[in-house]
Amino acid sequence: KSDSETKERLAKVEEQNSALNSRVIDLQARSMRDNLMFYNLPEHEDENTNNLIHNLLQEQLGISDAKTIKIDRSHRIGRGTPGSRRPRAIVAKFNFYPDKERILANTERLKGTGIAISEQFPE
């Protein structure tokens, strides 16, 4: 095959790769849209991360009906490092998008606590 044919094929493959990459990022973003990240919540063995989050929402954010907020699932991210002082982040998937938005609207109450909450985005 000629050099120009090879270059054409390479350009086409690169274009397809770029399009697929964009689609993957879009799918990741859609799958994360109901997720929140929780940082610097103390970590303990045999913990229940849903309970940790519900307690934070009620005690720190002042959401009185926090226990009614449905969390589909939550877990720590990454591998635990024995002796590490910094707790791993928690990712939580909320069942109802307005609950997630209500939590985000109250995050200013965490100022000075060292605890942070943010949306999850694709890397």
Provide the β-strand partners of residue 35. Answer: 93
**Closest to 34 (Cα-Cα) out of 89, 103, 114, 109:** 103
pTM: 0.82
Q: Are 41 and 59 in contact (CB under 8 A)?
A: no
Give the residue ranges of the chain where pLDDT is below 70: 1, 82-83
| pLDDT at res. 86 | 87
CA angle 72, 73, 79 (to 5 degrees): 165
